Amino acid sequence: MSGSADEAAAVGRPRLRTRLLATLVALVVGAAVVELGALVAFRVSEGKGFNYKRLARERAQVVAEGKPSAAPTATVARPVERDPAGVEGRPEKTAAELVLHPFMGFVYDPESRWMEPALKMGGLQLSEHGFFVVPRPAGEGPEWTVAVFGGSVAANFSIDGRKALGEALAASPTVRGRRVRVRSFALGGFKQPQMAQALTYLLSLGERFDAVVELDGFNDLAVSFSDHRATGKFPFYPRDWESLVRGTSSPDDLRRLARVAYLQDRRADQARLFSRRPLRWSVTAALVWKLLDRRLSQELAAAREATATRRAASATYRERGPVRQYASDEALLRELAVVWGRSSVQMHRLCSGAGIAYHHFLQPNQYVPGSKPMGAAEKALAYRADHPYRSAIERGYPFLQAEGREIARQGVPFTDLVPIFAGVDDPRYSDDCCHVNQAGNDALGRRIGTDLAADLSRR
């Protein structure tokens, strides 16, 4: 009897091991399938491939934004050793603080306490004037410099679209044989007449460029319209002007600011969690983090907007500027477009007087009706029916397009890029605001370079 039991146990052990092994294999295969699916979903959601180092930097930058170091350690940003992979920090991801500027409204602070950790994570350095420093082109020989002005879309383009821009410009006899160097004078939230003032200031200081590209339009409507409607602020003052010039905060202001700080800390804690083992090794976990972080980022933006709105009632002239009344939303949107176009004319005149090629490009946006077909995946990522900027874009872009045609009649080189994605089914937008993915920046670079090259042939 005992022998039979031993024999049965001996037979059962291999079967148990087989079942355990089969279960383990099934779990591994299942996890692999999930990870592969997440890899595809990540590319669709982000418009770029999965990269461990880039995501580690993004999470670290969120941590730095939520938990800045105690104090600046230098008055000038020090050069740092670059990662051999060459992955650069993006303007909207590199931690920095805005500071008041006497001529340009605001810039990033090169002495910010946030700059040091950002630089260590491969983030872009800031120039002495508070703009991101785009790496110089590789190689030796003469350079041909393109200065890019605008908001965050233009800032991203300065980095992600510069290769396509250079390749398109290489067709021009004027540029052929020279390395195209892109310099960025674009910052998130910049709008006219800030760019016109920035160009005037920089040229007065002795800066010289071969070409100036203005890529903008979205902020001139979305930011100015929403700020004026919400707070009564003069629509041509810089974004967040009231925060930049306001003095001591009231207790209510402090509570609202605390909400902003709390959300920043939550983002930092969440990024820290997903940076730990084994989550940091998982594509699925990375995708989950990106989705959660996008949600917190939206809450943070809403908290900041609420802070600005609730402080409007006590705003002084210094904070809100001249009181301007408009008969209708359309009247406001029309004047925003006119000032935008007038500022472009001024930039063109400045450049013409200095022998600089100038071209103005109206940036595309997903909320312009009929401007791009969207599949389910892109629409889920890049379109919100209740987006606070949607109304201003839908109603205001026709005014920008009409003003663009008008300044073109006045001799300003102008291109309406709104239709650039009209026949493109694949995703081009990377968020529900205005930013484009790598393929979108490549398309912008090719078109901007082609139009600039055509301008040069006519000079």
Q: What is the pTM of this model?
A: 0.72
How far apart CA 143 and CA 401 sit, in angstroms, is 33
The pLDDT of residue 80: 32
- Give 283-289's long-range contacts (Cβ < 8 A, gap of 24+): 283/35, 283/38, 283/39, 283/42, 283/50, 284/34, 284/35, 284/38, 286/38, 286/42, 286/50, 286/55, 287/38, 287/41, 287/42, 287/45, 289/55, 289/59
Report whether CATH 3.40.50.360 matches the domain 134-246+322-459: no
The pLDDT of residue 368: 97
The pLDDT of residue 281: 76
Three-state secondary structure of 317-332: HHHHCCCCCCCCHHHH
Which residue blocks in 311-430 are alpha helix, DSSP H? 317-320, 329-353, 376-382, 390-409
The pLDDT of residue 353: 96
The pLDDT of residue 184: 97
How far apart CA 282 and CA 39 sit, in angstroms, is 10
Q: pLDDT (tens digit, 0 to 9) for every residue of the chain, 459 residues total?
A: 555 555 555 555 566 667 766 676 666 666 666 666 656 666 766 666 777 677 777 777 677 666 543 333 333 333 333 333 334 555 655 555 789 999 999 999 988 876 666 666 567 788 999 999 999 998 888 999 999 999 999 999 999 999 999 999 999 999 999 999 999 999 999 999 999 999 999 999 999 999 999 999 999 999 999 989 888 899 999 998 988 887 656 666 677 777 887 888 888 888 888 888 887 778 777 778 888 888 888 888 787 777 666 655 567 888 889 999 999 999 999 999 999 999 999 999 999 999 999 999 999 999 999 999 999 999 999 999 999 999 999 999 999 999 999 999 999 999 999 999 999 999 999 999 999 999 999 999 999 999 999 999 987
Q: Which residues contact 204 (CB under 8 A, 6 or more apart)?
A: none
How far apart CA 367 and CA 364 sit, in angstroms, is 9
How far apart CA 418 and CA 407 sit, in angstroms, is 17
How far apart CA 350 and CA 70 sit, in angstroms, is 42
Phi/psi at 122 (nearest 5 deg)?
90, 10
Give strand ranges (E) for 74-186: 98-101, 105-108, 143-150, 179-186
| End-to-end CA gap in the chain | 104
Pairing of strands 211-216, 143-150: parallel
Q: Is the dihedral of CA 93, 50, 133, 455 positive or negative?
A: negative
The pLDDT of residue 274: 82
The pLDDT of residue 387: 92
- 356 and 211 Cβ atoms separated by less than 8 Å: yes
CA dihedral 434, 375, 46, 31 (to 10 degrees): 160
The b/e string for 66-101 (b: 16+ C-beta within 10 A; e otherwise) is: bebeeeeeeeebeeeeeeeeebbbbbebbbbbbeeb
- 298 and 320 Cβ atoms separated by less than 8 Å: no
State the DSSP H helix or E strand holding residue 267, giving kind and residue range, or none if neither: helix 251-273
Q: Which tokens in the block code for residue 106?
A: 């605001």
Q: Which tokens in the block code for residue 56?
A: 């580690």
Domain limits, the chain: 1-46, 52-119, 134-246+322-459, 247-310
Structure-token match 């104090």, residue found: 71
Phi/psi at 136 (nearest 5 deg)?
-70, 155
Q: Is the dihedral of CA 432, 254, 95, 75 positive or negative?
A: positive
